[in-house]
């Protein structure tokens, strides 16, 4: 038996037909689950007793649990406990234009980037799509706020859990459910090329972000060992293919590590690498983790780096810092909890 929050709309219709229910019930059920946020089948007042029994016998409908909440000025961080006892986290970010959430896609991560706290704990398993959907639902329920945008930038590598992540995206995007617009959903990858190619074929207006973090292979391989498998030249050519096929602009993420990748040399190299591409670079102030190998670049160095790119005609922004005082960088809350 599968959790009902893991059903895409069409799959739910098909499942209902299989269990001798009418297809249109999918609409009613989606409304209860996602609009009214009612998970108790017995309280779905437009369903008959027989249908309710039928649903109870064919679907699981429980939630993951909120284990811990950390609140700061503009950020609320949630630690969730899954049914198997494992922990994951999500962060709610409050912007002037609305609320966005950063969700996890795996328990742990196997990519092992040297600056990242998530990878310190190896991947235990992929998240099911319902476990990703419920991170959003629970935060909406808890805060009574609507979440208008979603970034898949929490713990895990989404393209190492491709099918579940795509199901998740289609569930939250569905107009009869949470109806989060595709343009308001961003999936961030360390650069798993075969999956980027698959993503090109999805025909959905979701944003793609690439964690580049270095403009040459030597440095990138030091920071991200995945670069030994998929190098910069192949990545750039795949990103160009994505841009050509989808006509969509790609975000290039670049975490600012003091005296490591934030020098003038790297700025100029990066500008050269990205020249003429439909991309924008998002400079991310590093959230220092317990592993004290890297330091966060000073704001002065970040501004200088920004100016070099700007002068070279590259679109660039500096990411607003959120929640550094509550360890909001992905994996930090879970890491400190698991250590205990």
Catalytic residue IDs: 89, 330
Q: Given the complex with ligand SAH, which of 29 and 281 has the nearer CB atom?
A: 281
Break the chain down into helix, strand, coil percent, rounded to 5.
40, 20, 35
CB of 210: closest distance to ligand SAH in angstroms? 7
CB of 10: closest distance to ligand SAH in angstroms? 28
The H or E element containing residue 181 is none
Q: Given the complex with ligand SAH, which of 153 and 316 has the nearer CB atom?
A: 153
Residue recorded with tokens 């190098």? 231
Residues that bind ligand SAH in the complex, under the rule CB under 6 A: 111, 113, 115-117, 153, 157, 188-190, 211, 253, 255, 284, 286-287, 289, 329-330
Residue 160: how many other CB atoms lie within 10 Å: 19
Q: Given the complex with ligand SAH, which of 139 and 209 has the nearer CB atom?
A: 209
Q: Given the complex with ligand SAH, which of 157 and 262 has the nearer CB atom?
A: 157
Q: How far apart are CA 212 and CA 244, in angstroms?
A: 19
247 Rama sector, left if φ>0, alpha if ψ -120 to 50, beta otherwise: left
Asked if 231 contacts 190 with a C-beta cutoff of 8 angstroms, the reply is no
CB of 124: closest distance to ligand SAH in angstroms? 15
Q: Which structure tokens are listed for 91?
A: 């962060």
Could you tell me how far CA 49 lies from the centroid of its own chain? 38
CB of 236: closest distance to ligand SAH in angstroms? 16
Q: Given the complex with ligand SAH, which of 21 and 327 has the nearer CB atom?
A: 327
Strand 2-3 with 59-60, pairing: parallel
CB of 334: closest distance to ligand SAH in angstroms? 13
How many angstroms separate the Cα of 178 from the Cα of each of 45, 144, 195, 244, 254?
20, 14, 26, 30, 31
Strands (E), the chain: 2-3, 59-60, 65-71, 75-81, 87-95, 98-102, 106-107, 125-126, 147-152, 185-189, 207-211, 250-256, 279-285, 315-318
Q: How far apart are CA 196 and CA 159, in angstroms?
A: 8
Q: Given the complex with ligand SAH, which of 149 and 289 has the nearer CB atom?
A: 289
Q: Given the complex with ligand SAH, which of 173 and 287 has the nearer CB atom?
A: 287
CB of 98: closest distance to ligand SAH in angstroms? 20
Asked if 330 contacts 323 with a C-beta cutoff of 8 angstroms, the reply is no
DSSP letters for 117-165: SGGGS---EEPPHHHHHHHHHHHHHHHT--EEEEEE-SSS-GGGSHHHH
């Amino acid at each position: 038996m599968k959790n009902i929050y893991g059903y895409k709309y069409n799959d739910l219709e098909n499942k209902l037909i299989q269990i001798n229910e009418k297809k249109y019930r999918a609409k009613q059920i989606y409304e209860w689950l996602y609009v009214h946020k009612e998970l108790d089948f017995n309280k779905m007042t437009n369903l008959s007793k027989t249908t309710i029994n039928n649903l109870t016998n064919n679907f699981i409908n429980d939630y993951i649990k909120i284990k811990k909440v950390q609140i700061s000025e503009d950020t609320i961080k949630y630690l969730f406990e899954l049914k198997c006892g494992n922990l994951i986290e999500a962060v709610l970010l409050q912007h002037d234009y609305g609320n966005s959430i950063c969700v996890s896609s795996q328990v742990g991560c196997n990519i092992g980037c040297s600056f990242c706290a998530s990878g310190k704990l190896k991947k235990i398993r992929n998240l099911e799509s319902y476990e990703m959907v419920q991170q959003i639902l629970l935060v909406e329920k808890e805060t009574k706020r609507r979440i208008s945008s979603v970034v898949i930038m929490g713990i895990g590598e989404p393209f190492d859990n491709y099918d579940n992540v795509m199901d998740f995206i289609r569930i939250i995007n569905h107009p009869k459910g949470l109806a989060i617009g595709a343009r308001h959903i961003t999936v961030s990858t360390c650069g798993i090329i075969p999956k980027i190619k698959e993503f090109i074929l999805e025909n959905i207006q979701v944003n793609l972000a690439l964690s580049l973090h270095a403009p040459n292979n030597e440095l990138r391989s030091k920071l991200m060992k995945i670069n030994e498998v998929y190098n910069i030249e192949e990545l750039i050519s795949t990103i160009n293919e994505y841009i050509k096929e989808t006509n969509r602009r790609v975000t290039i993420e670049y975490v600012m590590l003091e005296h490591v990748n934030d020098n003038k040399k790297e700025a100029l190299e990066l500008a050269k690498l990205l020249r003429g591409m439909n991309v924008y670079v998002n400079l991310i102030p590093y959230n220092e983790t317990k592993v004290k190998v890297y330091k966060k670049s000073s704001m002065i160095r970040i501004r200088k780096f920004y100016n070099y790119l700007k002068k070279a005609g590259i679109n660039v922004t500096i990411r607003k810092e959120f929640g550094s005082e509550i360890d909001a960088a992905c994996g930090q809350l879970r890491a400190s909890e698991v250590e205990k």
